Structure 1
Amino acid sequence: MTDLPFGFSGDDDEARKRRDEPSGADPNNPFGFAMGGAGGFDPSQLGQMLTQLGQMLSGLGQPGSQSGPVNYDVAKRLARQQLGATIAPVSSGTAKAVADAAHLAELWLDSATTLPAGANRTVAWTPNDWIEETLPTWKRLCDPVAEQISGMWSSQLPEEARQFAGPMVGMLGQMGGLAFGSQLGQALGQLAKEVLTSTDIGLPLGPNATAALLPAAVAEFSRGLEQPESEIMVFLAAREAAHQRLFAHVPWLRHQVLGAVEDYARGIRMDFSALEEAAQGIDPMSLGDPSKIEELLSKGTFEPQTTPEQKQALERLETLLALIEGWVQVVVAEAVGERLPGAGALAETLRRRRATGGPAEQTFATLVGLELRPRKLREAASLWQRLTTDAGVQARDGVWAHPDLLPDSDDLDSPAGFIDAVIGGGATAFDDPLAQLAETEAREAAERAEKDRDKGDDPS
């Protein structure tokens, strides 16, 4: 179980059981607001509470700049504060070293995969650059979570409270946006100091067709390792370039990976019994105190995999991440293995770093209640290696032509049948993977255009 910034948990059986048990709280008043007179809602108390919340938000979060469910201005400010003021810009010499490493890596990769180069530029980022350049993708990943929580929060207010408060209820959304922005900023600040490349955590976080390495983190990672930093830079550049080739020339892959995270987030359910228990001992009039807000929001837990939809999204994401990482490992090993004697040791170091749950997993566990650990990574790498040996590089890369051709979780456990199917499938399906990818992309574009035309012809 992992804590979420809003203190909510999945709607599992245990949560429902706690909800059904008598708790001494009025089910029509889940937030513990005092009821005035003969059991009616006391509007003066809510008004005073929201006034105090407004004062707090104006001082801390500048809510006027918040246009969505998360205050990203707060997130960026807190992330940069964690980095401190000592972040030096990347020198011209370091930038050239990164570019040279990437150029060499691309040359070596050409013989290891049929997919051509996917990045049209390679850049050297500071941690601040990483925050700025990846924030658009983080918005896509975090907004569904925050929207779910924000909507369920306001929907649980007593009807009389909603009628009285009107626009003032928006302060609750701003409070949630501030809390989520604060958690996101802390997580990204930590992650920015440790990631090595733009695809280090397996997700395409950066802009399209842009390969990026973070030289400061690479230097820190290189300390204590036996390989020279220059060789480590080339190895990491090869991994980044391999990721970029895959995401650039498999047009559906980026959407599938990010979409699986979004689908998981949309399945989040709120356990109001934990919130009720947390609110029992807190005077609503004290909510103007930020420490009380933090205390309330930190209560409760989020239980992953609480719905069938979430389980399916989680399994799909874990399998995709394992297939991506496994393919990158095999391709990079083939490209640099004989040229960099320490490549095997470096690959194992990165495998352990990923398997033990690094900063990426901690970030997602905090923000989405979701672990990014590809649990079948070794099985995926073994499948790609066997497919390379038995069917060849062209057939192996041709599997990425369409999502229906990819192995599933069961295939990772027992790959023999899948490999036989690829080998026995004939040349038509795998002869020219690039042509197959282009054909798939054209067909999907035509289908989208037809749907758009149908929508335009519909009088409604």
Structure 2
Amino acid sequence: MTEAPDLPAVIDWRLAVSLGSKIAGEGPEVSRDEAAEVVAELRAGAARSTGLVRDFTGLDAPDGTAPVLVVDRPGWVQANAEGFAVATRPMVEKMVAKKPPTGLSLKVGSKVTGAEVGGLLGFLAGKVLGQFDPFFEPSGRLLLVAPNIAHVERELHVDPHDFRLWVCLHEETHRVQFTAVPWMRDHLFSEIRAISDTVEPDSIVEGGIERIAQAIKSTRAGGSIIDMVSTPEQREILDRVTGMMSLLEGHADVVMDDVGPTVIPSVKEIRERFTKRRKGVGTLDRLLRRLLGLEAKMAQYRDGAKFVRAVVDKVGMDEFNAVWAAPEHLPSKAELTDHDGWVRRVLG
């Protein structure tokens, strides 16, 4: 994987993928027959979930958009490196326009950034069960990480068939959200561009090590690297993105839990055990989650689900679906805990 031809390779993506794959490992040992069964069942579960999501939410995704891929951990690392390349391109373009890196600084710098990205992807690759990748052209793609799903279903001691369909319900909801609401991808990209526009190239390097050190210290108080590198203007944009992502995650959680009982006999047991697992396992795991901002993601699930349930209970699913009509109908971060405020603003 390489940068676009008109840009210097400021991140060594090959190193990132190689290192990330090594850190991630292969996952649990499974026989060839068991692996084939898991892959086939996940594909079938995703296909089955499309209709279940449509019937419950009223969102109708066009056929033939956003393929579903069942991948291993290295496959997830590769896919996300490709996504990172797209997401970081606006930032790279801005850096290069001001001061194109060359020679030894480019060579060394690309290795350093490649190693940093690889380390991050390697850590996350063992955690993610599934993910909608909005950066894949033309309409995104859904990734289901088979070894992680097999690992967690064993760890939780739950019915594997029920668990696989439960995961598919959540992840397929994301695929439906982005394909039934086509402006969502463009809106996300515009927010990424907006963040890039606020960053001064010199600030990326200046004080970088000190900022990371501060972020590590701040983990005791619940901070993260993301918190330390954002200016007030960037925080305003991040708050909008938080509102959008919380909606998407919470909406998917509501679907998996409300549709689940109709097709998944052990859904209550799965939810109870999985919720405990989301808190992290050991001290190091919790530290890394906090440092990388993953604790904030857990809050997204909780706040987003509460918002969706509160609005649907108040006005019904049809009225709630006004949230998908336009970017300005998305809840703000503040409205996640003030659903009446959103109802007054959007529904009058």
**Normalising to structure 1: TM-score of the pair?**
0.59
CA contact (8 A) 1:187 1:363 kept: no
Match of 1:133 in 2: 79
Q: Describe the superposition over 1:21-80 as per-residue Cα deviations: whole angstroms up to 9, x where unpaired.
A: xxxxxxxxxxxxxxxxxxxxxxxxxxxxxxxxxxxxxxxxxxx9x942211121122223
Paired AA for residue 193 in structure 1: G
Paired AA for residue 196 in structure 1: L
Match of 2:332 in 1: 408
Paired AA for residue 123 in structure 2: Q
1: CA distance, partners of 2:155 / 2:42: 21
Distance 1:335 1:209, change over 3 A: farther
Aligned-partner SS, 1:98: helix
Report % sequence identity: 20
Paired AA for residue 329 in structure 2: L
Report the CA distance between 1:336 and its aligned residue: 1.7
Tell me which of 5, 11, 16 is aligned to 1:75: 16
2: CA distance, partners of 1:372 / 1:144: 25
Report the CA distance between 1:299 and its aligned residue: 7.2
Report the CA distance between 1:205 and its aligned residue: 5.7
Report the CA distance between 1:123 and its aligned residue: 2.8
Q: How does 1:36-435 map to 2 (within 5 A)?
A: 67-83=8-24, 91-117=35-61, 120=64, 121-144=67-90, 169-199=102-132, 204=134, 208=139, 210-264=141-195, 266-267=198-199, 269-270=203-204, 272=206, 304=228, 306-347=230-271, 373=297, 375=299, 377-420=301-344, 425=348
Distance 1:118 1:326, change over 3 A: farther
2: CA distance, partners of 1:273 / 1:195: 32
Gaps of 5+ in 1: 1-63, 156-166, 279-296, 426-460
**Which one has the largest radius of gyration?**
1
Distance 1:385 1:350, change over 3 A: same
Report the CA distance between 1:232 and its aligned residue: 0.5
CA contact (8 A) 1:118 1:246 kept: no
Aligned-partner SS, 1:198: strand
Distance 1:354 1:171, change over 3 A: farther
Q: Describe the superposition over 1:166-194 as per-residue Cα deviations: whole angstroms up to 9, x where unpaired.
A: x9x53212211110001111222232233
Paired AA for residue 176 in structure 1: G
Between structures 1 and 2, the one with greater helix share: 2
Report the CA distance between 1:140 and its aligned residue: 2.3
Distance 1:353 1:151, change over 3 A: farther
CA contact (8 A) 2:159 2:266 kept: no
Report the CA distance between 1:141 and its aligned residue: 2.9
2: CA distance, partners of 1:182 / 1:83: 14
1: CA distance, partners of 2:114 / 2:340: 47
2: CA distance, partners of 1:274 / 1:191: 22
Aligned-partner SS, 1:212: strand
Gaps of 5+ in 2: 216-224
Paired AA for residue 342 in structure 2: F
Paired AA for residue 73 in structure 1: R
**Normalising to structure 2: TM-score of the pair?**
0.75
Q: How does 1:1-12 map to 2 (within 5 A)?
A: none
CA contact (8 A) 2:253 2:301 kept: no
1: CA distance, partners of 2:290 / 2:195: 12
Report the CA distance between 1:98 and its aligned residue: 1.6
CA contact (8 A) 1:198 1:205 kept: no
CA-atom RMSD in angstroms: 4.0
Paired AA for residue 51 in structure 2: L
Distance 1:68 1:271, change over 3 A: closer
